């Protein structure tokens, strides 16, 4: 997270976009992963340091052979770097950090998230095959890694392998969750003889031996939900320790015999019919099939290797995070002259003088056709060093554009200072690179920026790019992509705001040494363009967690702006007027400061002598007290850098709302996307936490939506605005686990299937937050309507009527373009064999439901239902249903949905006092079912409220 000094424009939570694809910096060579960073949070006491460091080493020593076995000898952990906080000064280290920062570490040791307790989990909001963000491990997990945690979750090596598969390969859990409607803990599987049998929802290559357990009564018989025919949420399953299954690590990490992922072979048989998260999100492909397509192994990369245990033992380095080291690489070519260079000077100067924390090192390089070192590294220590450094920020421009020479100078400056890799480069340009740029390292030879791709990657620097205006070189974003940095677009119409937000984002790379309650929170930020309007009004909210050191700031680039402002008035919720604005001499801003702001909605009004002037308005505040954590917001783009749009493009915008580790639910999260099409302006879309479409888990406080309005190629920038429209609450007071714990050694349920558990909640109060998510560049002119409707992933049996022989399924309507708009047509098919509805056989083997009787799609996000007559002969058995969706183009169909299991048989009566014994039989959970012959012909047609099946 970022911070700034009192009175400065803050940047809380701009860590946002740096979440994207954390594992991208890890490389694999000759089967060994290097570059993996385990970051320890500053919130972890140093007294625990030696024990935690040794536990981390032990964990990866176990994980390396476990991963090697699970990947069929294709991968192991070769080198692991343990990054300790800057504040840990009494812990032995091997070196100081250079390119390692906590916010980009692949594994993070931090206090627990209440949804997961002490179970390691992976933040994984993306789709199948997409990398996760990071693995979270708690200090208590490491403290008790060989006793309590081993009994609960199994050996640490297998737990890490499970989480690494999420993070690196983008696969999902192969187990169900008690009471989950989309991923139930039990389901009905059809045996070879056609009989439906209730089985636990796991991927296992053999028959599982185990026992049901009623968590409420302590007995072995479970109560069933008659509407679905499935056991209720209190029914768990205990696998016995003496099972001989070898798969799957995405199901079990605590069974001793399990050491592999499921695949398509008989030996490690993948259960495609199981309604688990992996099958739904990966279209029933096995975990190993998805892993094999990963770049680490695709095309024969890193084939199996015969390596000894000694050869696959990882090496470790312990490094301490150090003060950040930035090089500003600024374009001063002729196209930057005028307002652009002035706005850049204002933004960079303010960033240096007020926002960077003490201890930070900064160097400034400018470039035209040549790169110039304006100043070597200066460490920020006081006002004098800040002013000295700011004096080197360029004020004038003229000449050509050789981006390569600016970057080359920056790399040399970092190498000289660090003597090795690392550092952060902030690269800003507004034009295309000239042809014929002269290589200073090879006089007489020309080169261009593409020649720097390799050196940037080898130097392990992080590059943040700022494209100023629409003519900035289209290759610019590539540097952020290969280095794990971020990209920003500076729109000339609101350059002051965009530059501010871009520089705020760069603060993320500083070591996080400020406690959460002392960070400045951006409550509100908006640009006002110069116009004929002579007044401007707005509002922001002070919620119960903020209000201390409120700063209302107006920034302007025109030095005469204060003389053109008649008045600035803040109106408190109780009606008090605050008007004491102070303009800082020699600076381009004015502030109103309130030591403790009243809770509630504040409004402001700015009047001008004639017409409004170009300015940026920002409101910041600290936590209300030192004991209450503030509400924080992160926002990022699922894909960074350069994107070529085709039918497979899935570009999401994500927002994360928290108080500490507690999720904030039911907030209004809006993404405002500025497009390169001047006629369409800004596209507004609401991000949702509903667990469908782009969103992975309902009620986890991560709000997501696909962006689909690609109107032309060019750069798109994203700003998120978050507020409470009256329903937002903080979810607290429950504890669950990430991977499924051994139920014999844990009495807490596990998190999270299609939804996160909601425990005690309390209102947030009114609040507002504004934050930039960065930018992305579309590289082609997208074909209109190229995106298909979204895949339905929550098709479930909502209600069954055995007396009427009907079944009602429910789903959430997708959009015409992924999860946006309204689609045109649904197609439903059914079968008594689940594999008939797999993506490859849906059209050839599924029985079509009469299209005239299927409801028309409604607006995306709408819950829809369909009631069908049960096919003749299946009235007391099971059958299956799936669907797909079409937009207004003839052949633009979505992927086939998940398969809904429609069980129509009887269920056991509730046990007397809940204590009667239950039966166990192999893979099955004993349950009384009525066995009938499977008949595929005929359906009953009831009334108009029911649909019928073709062929009746």
pLDDT digits (tens, 9 = 90+) for 89-100: 999 999 999 878
State the pLDDT at residue 189: 87
Does pLDDT of 37 surpass 70?
yes
Give the separation between CA 716 and CA 592, rounded to whole angstroms: 33
Phi, psi of 616 (to 5 degrees): -120, 130
The DSSP secondary structure of 780-825, one letter per residue, reads S-PPTT-SPBPPP---EEEEEETTTTEEEEEEE---SBBTBS--SE
Residue 945 scores a pLDDT above 70:
no
Please give the structure tokens belonging to residue 24.
Answer: 């991208």
Q: 907-923 pLDDT, tens per residue?
A: 876 654 433 333 333 33
> What distance in Å separates the CA atoms of residue 767 and residue 137, rounded to the nearest whole number?
31
Give the pLDDT confidence of 228-258 residue by residue, as tens digits: 899 998 999 989 988 999 999 999 999 999 9
Cβ atoms 287, 262 nearer than 8 A? yes
pLDDT of residue 743: 67
Helix (H, G, I), strand (E, B) or coil at 411: helix
- Report the pLDDT averaged over residues 453-458: 94
State pLDDT tens for residues 384-436.
Answer: 999 999 999 999 999 999 999 999 999 999 999 998 889 999 999 999 999 99
pLDDT band at 16 (very low <50, low <70, confident <90, very high): very low
Average pLDDT over residues 281-290: 95
* 3-class secondary structure per residue, 161-175: HHHHHHHHHCCCCCE
pLDDT at 45: 94
pLDDT band at 940 (very low <50, low <70, confident <90, very high): very low
For residue range 616-662, list pLDDT tens digits in order: 999 999 999 998 899 999 999 987 778 999 999 999 999 999 998 89
How confident is residue 50, by pLDDT bands cut at 50, 70 and 90? very high
Give the CA angle between residues 312, 316, 320 to the nearest 5°.
Answer: 160
Answer for the pair 338, 352: CB distance below 8 angstroms, yes or no: no
pLDDT tens-digit profile of 363-396?
999 999 999 999 999 999 999 999 999 999 999 9
- Find the mean pLDDT for residues 323-339: 96
Report long-range pairs for 51-58 (Cβ below 8 Å, ≥24 apart): 51/142, 51/143, 52/109, 52/139, 52/142, 52/143, 53/82, 53/84, 53/91, 53/318, 55/142, 55/143, 55/145, 56/80, 56/82, 56/109, 56/142, 57/82, 57/316, 58/145, 58/146, 58/156
- How far apart (Å, rounded) are the C-alpha atoms in residues 279 and 300? 25
Contacts (Cβ under 8 Å, ≥6 apart) of 631? 521, 543, 545, 546, 657, 658, 659, 664, 764, 767, 769
Q: Residue range 201-226: average pLDDT? A: 88
Mean of per-residue pLDDT scores for the chain: 88
Mean pLDDT along residues 691-705: 93
- Residue 753 has a pLDDT of 87
What is the predicted pLDDT for the residue at 929? 36
Please give the average per-residue pLDDT across 694-720, as a whole number. 93
CA atoms of 462 and 426, how far apart (whole Å)? 8
User: In this model, does residue 758 exceed pLDDT 90?
Assistant: no
pLDDT for res 134: 93
**What percent of the chain clears pLDDT 70, i.e. is strictly above it?**
91
Residue 703's contacts (CB-CB under 8 Å, 6 or more residues apart) are 654, 655, 656, 657, 667, 669, 687, 688, 689, 695
Structure tokens of 868?
């069908």
Q: Which residue has the higher pLDDT, 626 or 928?
A: 626
Res. 942: pLDDT tops 80 = no
Q: What is the pLDDT, as a whole number, of residue 909?
A: 66
Residue 911's pLDDT is: 54
Q: How far is CA 798 from CA 689, 695, 851, in A?
A: 21, 21, 21
Measured from the Cβ of residue 338, the count of other Cβ atoms closer than 10 Å reads 11
Q: Which of 26-30, 211-215, 273-277, 317-321 has the lowest mean pLDDT?
A: 211-215
């Amino acid at each position: 997270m970022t911070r700034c000094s009192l009175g400065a424009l803050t940047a809380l939570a701009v860590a946002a976009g740096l979440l994207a694809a954390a594992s991208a910096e890890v490389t694999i060579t000759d089967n060994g992963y290097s570059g993996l960073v385990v970051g320890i949070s500053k919130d972890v006491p140093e007294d625990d340091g030696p024990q935690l460091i040794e536990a981390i080493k032990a964990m990866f020593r176990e994980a390396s052979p476990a991963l090697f076995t699970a990947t069929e000898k294709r991968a192991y952990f070769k080198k692991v770097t343990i990054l300790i906080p800057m504040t840990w000064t009494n812990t032995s280290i091997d070196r100081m950090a250079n390119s390692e920062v906590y916010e980009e570490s692949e594994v993070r040791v931090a206090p627990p998230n209440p949804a997961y307790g002490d179970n390691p989990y992976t933040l994984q909001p993306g789709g199948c095959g997409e990398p996760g963000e990071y693995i979270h491990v708690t200090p208590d997990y490491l403290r008790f890694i060989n006793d309590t945690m081993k009994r609960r979750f199994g050996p640490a090596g297998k737990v890490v392998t499970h989480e690494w598969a999420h993070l690196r390969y983008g696969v999902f859990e192969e187990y169900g969750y008690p009471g989950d409607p989309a991923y139930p803990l039990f389901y009905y599987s059809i045996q070879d003889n056609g009989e439906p049998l209730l089985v636990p929802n796991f991927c296992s290559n053999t028959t599982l031996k185990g026992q049901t357990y009623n968590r409420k009564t302590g007995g072995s018989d479970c109560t069933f939900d008659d509407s679905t025919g499935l056991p209720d949420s209190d029914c768990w399953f205990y696998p016995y320790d003496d099972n001989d299954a070898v798969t799957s690590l995405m199901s079990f990490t605590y069974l001793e015999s399990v050491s592999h992922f499921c695949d398509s072979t008989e030996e490690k048989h993948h259960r495609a019919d199981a309604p688990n998260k992996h099958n739904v999100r990966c279209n029933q492909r096995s975990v190993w099939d998805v892993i094999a397509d990963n770049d680490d192994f695709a095309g024969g990369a890193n084939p199996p290797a015969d390596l000894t245990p000694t050869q696959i033992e990882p090496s470790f380095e312990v490094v301490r995070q150090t003060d950040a080291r930035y090089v500003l690489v600024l374009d001063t070519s002729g196209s930057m002259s005028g307002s652009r260079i002035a706005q850049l000077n204002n933004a960079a100067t303010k960033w240096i003088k007020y926002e960077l924390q003490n201890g930070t090192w900064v160097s400034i390089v400018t470039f035209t056709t040549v790169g110039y070192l304006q100043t070597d590294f200066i460490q920020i220590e006081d006002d004098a060093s800040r002013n000295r450094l700011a004096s080197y920020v360029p004020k004038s421009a003229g000449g050509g554009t050789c981006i390569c020479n600016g970057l080359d100078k920056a790399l040399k400056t970092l190498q000289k200072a660090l003597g090795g890799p690392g550092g952060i480069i902030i690269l800003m340009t507004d034009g295309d690179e000239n042809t014929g740029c002269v290589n200073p390292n090879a006089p007489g030879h020309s080169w261009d920026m593409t020649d720097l791709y390799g050196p940037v990657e080898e130097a392990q620097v992080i590059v943040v790019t700022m494209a100023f205006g629409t003519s900035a070189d289209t290759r610019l974003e590539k540097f952020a992509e290969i280095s794990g940095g971020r990209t920003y677009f500076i729109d000339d119409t609101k350059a002051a705001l965009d530059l501010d937000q871009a520089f705020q984002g760069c603060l993320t790379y500083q070591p996080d040494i400020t406690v959460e309650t002392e960070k400045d929170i951006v409550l509100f930020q908006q640009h006002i363009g110069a116009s004929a309007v002579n007044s401007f009004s707005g509002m922001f909210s002070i919620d119960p967690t903020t209000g201390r050191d409120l700063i209302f700031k107006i920034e302007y680039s025109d030095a005469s702006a204060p003389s053109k402002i008649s008045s600035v008035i803040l109106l408190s919720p109780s009606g008090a007027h605050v008007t004491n604005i102070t303009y800082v001499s020699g600076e381009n801003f004015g502030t109103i400061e309130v030591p403790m702001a009243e809770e509630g909605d504040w409004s402001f009004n700015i009047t001008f002598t004639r017409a409004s002037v170009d300015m940026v308005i920002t409101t910041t505040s600290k936590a209300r007290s030192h004991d209450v954590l503030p509400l924080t917001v992160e926002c990022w783009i699922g894909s960074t850098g350069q994107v070529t749009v085709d039918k497979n493009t899935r570009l999401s915008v994500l927002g994360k709302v928290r108080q500490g580790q507690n999720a904030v639910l039911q907030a209004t999260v809006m993404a405002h996307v500025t497009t390169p099409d001047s006629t369409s302006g800004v596209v507004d879309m609401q991000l949702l936490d509903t667990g469908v479409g782009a969103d992975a888990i309902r009620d986890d406080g991560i709000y997501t939506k696909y962006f689909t309005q690609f109107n032309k190629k060019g750069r798109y920038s994203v700003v998120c605005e978050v507020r409470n429209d009256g329903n937002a609450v903080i979810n607290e007071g429950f504890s669950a686990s990430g991977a499924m714990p051994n139920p014999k050694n844990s009495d807490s349920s596990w998190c999270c299937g299609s939804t996160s558990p909601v425990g005690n909640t309390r209102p947030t109060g009114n609040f507002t937050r504004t934050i930039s998510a960065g930018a992305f560049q579309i590289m082609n002119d997208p074909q209109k309507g190229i995106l298909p409707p979204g895949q339905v992933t929550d098709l479930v049996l909502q209600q069954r009527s055995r007396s009427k022989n009907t079944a009602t399924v429910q789903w959430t309507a997708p959009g015409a373009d992924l999860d946006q708009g309204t689609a045109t047509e649904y197609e439903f098919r059914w079968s008594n064999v689940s594999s008939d509805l797999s993506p490859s056989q849906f059209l050839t083997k599924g029985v079509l439901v009469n299209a005239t009787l299927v409801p028309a799609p409604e607006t995306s996000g709408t819950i829809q239902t369909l009631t069908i007559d049960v096919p003749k002969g299946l009235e007391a058995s099971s059958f299956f249903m799936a669907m797909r969706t079409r937009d207004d183009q003839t052949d633009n169909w979505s992927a086939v949905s998940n398969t809904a299991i429609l069980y129509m048989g009887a269920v056991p009566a509730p046990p007397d006092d809940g204590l009667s014994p239950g039966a166990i039989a192999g893979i099955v959970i004993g349950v009384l079912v009525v066995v009938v012959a499977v008949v595929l012909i005929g359906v009953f047609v009831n009334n108009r409220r029911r649909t019928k099946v073709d062929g009746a």
